[in-house]
Amino acid sequence: MGVLELSRWQFAITTVYHFFFVPLTLGLTIAIALMETKYVRTGDEDYKKMAKFWGHLFLINFAIGVATGIVQEFQFGMNWSEYSRFMGDIFGAPLAIEALLAFYMESTFIGVWVFGWKRLSPKAHAATAWLVAAGSNLSAIWILSANSFMQQPVGYELANGRAQMVDFWAIIGNPHLWLQFPHIFTAGMVQAGFFMIGVSAWHFLHKTKNITPFKKSMRFGSTYALIGIVLVILIGHRQAQHLAETQPMKLAAGEALWETENPAGESLFALIDQDNHRNTVDLKIPGFLSFLAYDSFSGEVKGINDLQKEYEQKYGAGKNYIPNVWLSYWSFRIMVGVGFLMLLLAFVAFMKSRKDEFKCKPLGLKVFIWSIILPILSVAFGWIFTEAGRQPWLVFGLFRTEDGVSKAVSVGEAWTTVIGFTILYAILIVFTVQLWVKYAKHDMELEPETSTSEA
């Protein structure tokens, strides 16, 4: 592999590692703030214990999220310096605001929240939890505004071979952003909800003495996850319609749709022959892709072959504008398939948690414990689909991926960083999981009063 392929692998690996933790941070901050608000309003000490317990696990997640995210920005200047030269005027502004405003706000109030349990009034302390949540989600908005420009460029002009910002408000008002952020936010609700379901199920399985706060955590987590997954599906449906308008090639690749159809069928299973631009096997639900795109069981969805011809006329002949169809198709199906499995599990957990006694067989509890992995898989493959389906563009319609890689990086340097980062991140994840397991096994009643502060 050359520098381009290695740099793409490096960025994909480090980003997927980093994204294991981001949605959990977004979802847990809101959940903790809700728990603490419930404690302030009702005086129920269980919700205070819950806020501290899940807050402790959040702090571990936040720390590893920061550690894995630092490398991301360095890659823009090292492996992707040509991309930074092209996009710096636009990409730099939201990233700077994210660091100087949102991240500082989040990290400052995390400190106040950690050390303020005995120093602030309950209402003031709950306010710091909401400020942490606001900072976390503002960070996501600013980062996603930069990524949304890569998906749907707005508010720019091309000058001297660079994209230059001409309308800041257009960039933060990008329609893609205000579909992408709600999707990530609700995915964070799902990941946090299943995290609570899984940990609570472990305590049910091991018959923890003080089980009441975990019953309430199971009820909260299952409700949170169920609401989140329903919203993810609804927002995802609207995103598919937006893709049909702005990135029809990504939609076609995600369906392995080679020829234009009207009405278009939704593919359930396909064996893809990308070299010959066809599927050797393709099982479909008639008309359902048209419904996803237009809310109607009729309507034309353009196929990959026709779009390739259109793009050659629009962007230049003789180049391939087709992404990796196999990767796009299966990453999309893993994301959606795991999503509907989570919908089922969240519903079951929700119904069981409504009862006074949470009754579940050991096998079922083990399923809930391992379900912690499901939202991680769904989010990771959703990101892979989002980025792989945009190829061969770094900035859709403006800047090709092959033009963005640094000219100063050697193959040896790229191999060294790919191997080094992969090993380093794997070690960090092992330690993170060990810390999660260690503190997740604590009984909330036995949790020392100062444990969160000591974190």
- Per-residue model confidence (pLDDT) at position 126: 95
What one-letter code names the amino acid at 129? A
- Per-residue model confidence (pLDDT) at position 89: 86
Q: Is residue 328's pLDDT more than 90?
A: yes
Q: Is residue 320 part of a domain?
A: no
- Per-residue model confidence (pLDDT) at position 70: 80
Q: Is residue 455's pLDDT more than 80?
A: no
Where is pLDDT greater, at 216 or 92?
Answer: 216
Give pLDDT tens digits for 46-83.
999 999 999 999 999 888 888 888 888 788 888 898 99
Q: Is residue 176 part of a domain?
A: yes
Q: What is the mean pLDDT of residues 396-420?
A: 91
The predicted model scores a pTM of 0.90
Q: Is residue 449 part of a domain?
A: yes
- Per-residue model confidence (pLDDT) at position 453: 38
- Per-residue model confidence (pLDDT) at position 445: 67
Give pLDDT tens digits for 268-323.
999 999 999 999 999 999 999 999 889 889 889 999 999 999 999 999 888 999 99
Two structure tokens written together for 98: 């994210």
CB 13 within 8 A of CB 425: yes
Q: Is residue 238's pLDDT more than 90?
A: yes
Q: What is the mean pLDDT of residues 162-189?
A: 93
Give residue 331's domain range.
3-246+326-454
Give pLDDT tens digits for 426-453.
898 898 889 888 898 888 864 444 444 3
Q: Is residue 50 part of a domain?
A: yes
- Per-residue model confidence (pLDDT) at position 171: 92
Q: Is residue 63 part of a domain?
A: yes
What percentage of the chain has pLDDT greater than the value 70?
Answer: 98
Q: Is residue 99 part of a domain?
A: yes
- State the sign of the Cα–Cα–Cα–Cα dihedral 293, 298, 301, 303: positive
Q: Is residue 103's pLDDT more than 90?
A: no
432 vs 13, 89, 370, 425, CA distance in Å? 17, 36, 17, 10
Give pLDDT tens digits for 346-361.
999 999 888 877 888 8
Domain count, the chain: 1
Q: Is residue 309 part of a domain?
A: no
Q: Is residue 285 part of a domain?
A: no
**One-letter-per-residue 3-state SS of 119-159:** CCCHHHHHHHHHHHHHHHHHHHHHHHHHHHHHHCCCCEEEE
What percentage of the chain has pLDDT greater than the value 90?
Answer: 67
Q: What is the mean pLDDT of residues 114-142?
A: 93
Give the residue from 298, 385, 287 showing the smallest Cα distance to 337: 385
- Per-residue model confidence (pLDDT) at position 377: 93
- Per-residue model confidence (pLDDT) at position 96: 85
Other residues' Cβ atoms within 10 Å of the Cβ of residue 157 = 10
Q: What is the mean pLDDT of residues 37-50?
A: 93
Question: What average pLDDT is seen over the chain?
Answer: 90
Residue 102: pLDDT band by 50, 70, 90 thresholds?
A: confident
**What are the two backbone dihedrals, phi and then psi, of residue 444, each rounded to the nearest 5 degrees?**
-60, -35
- Per-residue model confidence (pLDDT) at position 195: 95
